[in-house]
Amino acid sequence: MRTTVGIIGAGPAGLLLARLLHDAGIDSVVLESHDREYVEHRQRAGILEQGTADVLRAAGAGVRLDKEGLRHDGIELRYERRRHRVDFPGLTGGRSVTVYAQTEVCKDLIALQLADGGPLLFEAEALAVEGVEGERPRVRFRHAGAEDVLECSYVVGCDGFWGIARQAVPPEVSRTFERAYPFAWLGILADVPPSHDELVYARHDRGFALLSMRSPSVSRLYLQVPAGTDADDWTDDEIWDELDRRLETDDGWTLRRGPITQKSVTPMRSYVHEPMRHGRLFLAGDAAHIVPPTGAKGLNLAVGDVVTLARALAHEKETGSPELLDTYSADCLHRIWQAERFSYDMTTMLHRAPDADPFDSRLQLARLERIAGSRAASAELAEGYTGFSY
């Protein structure tokens, strides 16, 4: 099998890249190790930055997004039983975010790819990436019980942190930067309308809590828990009681409870791999970087990567110049490190570390009070949350 761009992974990054390349007249093949049902139902991110939503619309994946997505013009910060709203449009010149689950993004992009895009092979396990330092890299993969080879001009690893693409970058040219956090998120899906019309980020002495949503009838909520927690250690009543404690306010606000349909624990980490290119291999999304979910950056960073790469590949096709391909890694990393910094700031401002002392707690409250009392500080948060340009 032969194509111009071999894409490993049919998450949002790989699927969107295939769509952008299709629109630019560049052929590709997408290899995905899981089946279609798994890809369309694995729960991940749910917040789309302004730029991400605009890119999806331009790629033809905006119909359901505009019909079912929930535009949010701000978030609420809670601390010491107080509430402060950060007004995104008023602080950023009109930008907002949209609540639209990654599962739905994947469904939309898969439908487009199968309708008029290049080959999308499910249950096609990539086994090795070879020859990336030459002009004809290839991906060995297994599909339908047989091994095959995909020959490409370029290979793009969109196969996540545990994928094989990054392994093709020699250790001697790789640099990794990592921070593991001593806490995790216990997340739930519940069949109950959200208790607030925007996301609520709560700093509490017992730990962080987040009130989010997936739709007008489905709530998504999180609790900070110790790293290594088993979700089954918490009963449904214990989860709701703890959410009540951490989200409580002095103005009579109440938390709606309902049946919990899913529980899971998400580890918290920051990770960056440099460079994001080696020869004719390019890394995108979680294959190259991880952010703690506090800043809602993971999916959006992946979109920024593939937009930058698609632009570079289209430029080479049109002009013959590899100039933008040569600067891909540096261009992405500038944006990624800003997102890493923003996510780290949000995480350390809102979570209670196991070894935190009263001084640490006072600093957190001082940071929150600064945001509540300063338009400039609120604008810095709003600009970071709604997205860094690419």
- The domains of the chain are located at 5-72+99-177+269-345, 181-268+352-386
The token pair that represents 21 in the structure block? 């390349």
User: Can you give the three-state secondary structure of the chain, one letter per residue?
Assistant: CECCEEEECCCHHHHHHHHHHHHCCCCEEEECCCCHHHHHHCCCCCEEEHHHHHHHHHCCCCHHHHHHCEEECEEEEEECCEEEEEEHHHHHCCCCEEECCHHHHHHHHHHHHHHHCCCEECCEEEEEEECCCCCCCEEEEEECCEEEEEECCEEEECCCCCCCHHHHCCHHHCEEEEEEEEEEEEEEEECCCCCCCCEEEEECCCCCEEEEEEECCEEEEEEEEECCCCHHHCCHHHHHHHHHHHHCCCCCCCCCCCCEEEEEEEEEEEEEEECCEECCEEECHHHCEECCHHHCCHHHHHHHHHHHHHHHHHHHHHHCCCHHHHCHHHHHHHHHHHHHHHHHHHHHHHCCCCCCCHHHHHHHHHHHHHHHHCHHHHHHHHHHHHCCCC
pTM of the model: 0.94
What token pair was written down for 85?
């709203």
Closest CA to 118 of 45, 14, 263: 14
Q: Which amino acid is at 35?
A: D
Query: How far, in Å, are 158, 225, 347 from residue 13 at the CA level?
Result: 6, 29, 24
Under a CB-based contact definition with an 8 Å cutoff, are residues 304 and 390 in contact? Answer: yes
Cis peptide before 275 (omega within 30 of 0): yes
Catalytic, out of 100, 154, 181, 201? 201
Give the model's confidence band at 216: pLDDT under 50 very low, under 70 low, under 90 confident, else very high. very high
Q: Rounded to whole angstroms, how far apart are CA atoms 155 and 78?
A: 45
For 97-145, what is each residue's pLDDT tens digit?
A: 999 999 999 999 999 999 999 999 999 999 999 999 999 999 999 999 9
Q: Among 12, 137, 194, 293, which one carries the catalytic annotation?
A: 293
Backbone angles phi, psi at 158, to 5 degrees: -115, 35
Residue 4 — pLDDT band, cuts 50, 70, 90? very high
Q: Residue 44 — very low, low, confident or very high, per pLDDT cuts 50/70/90?
A: confident
Q: How far apart are CA 70 and CA 249, in angstroms?
A: 25
Catalytic (active site) residue 89: no
Q: pLDDT band for position 388 (50/70/90)?
A: confident
Provide the token pair at 143: 């599909």
Average pLDDT value for residue range 142-168: 96
Q: Which of 299, 256, 302 is nearest to 283 (CA)?
A: 302
User: How high does pLDDT run on average in the chain?
Assistant: 96
Active site residue 293: yes
Q: Is 344 a catalytic residue?
A: no
Answer yes or no: 12 catalytic: no
pLDDT (tens digit, 9 = 90+) per residue, 229-243?
999 999 999 999 999
CA dihedral (305, 306, 308, 313) positive or negative: positive
Predicted confidence band at 8 (pLDDT cuts at 50, 70, 90)? very high
Looking at residue 195, its pLDDT comes to 97
pLDDT at 389 over 80: no
Q: How far apart are CA 155 and CA 4, in angstroms?
A: 9
Q: Is residue 284 a contact partner of residue 302, using CB atoms and an 8 Å limit?
A: yes
How would CATH label the architecture of 181-268+352-386?
2-Layer Sandwich (3.30)
Nearest-CA neighbor of 387 among 345, 344, 336? 336
Average pLDDT estimate for 369-382: 98
State the architecture of 5-72+99-177+269-345 in CATH terms. Answer: 3-Layer(bba) Sandwich (3.50)
Q: How far is CA 268 from CA 59, 182, 227, 292, 370, in A?
A: 32, 8, 8, 5, 26
pLDDT at 41: 87
Q: Which positions ≥6 away from 359 have C-beta within 8 Å?
A: none
- Give residue 46's pLDDT band: very low, low, confident or very high (50, 70, 90): confident
pLDDT at 390 > cutoff 70: no
Decide the pairing of beta strands 199-203 and 175-190. Answer: unpaired
pLDDT at 38 > cutoff 70: yes
72 is catalytic: yes
Confidence of residue 319 (pLDDT cuts 50, 70, 90): very high
Nearest Cα neighbor of 303 from 42, 3, 36, 19 is 19
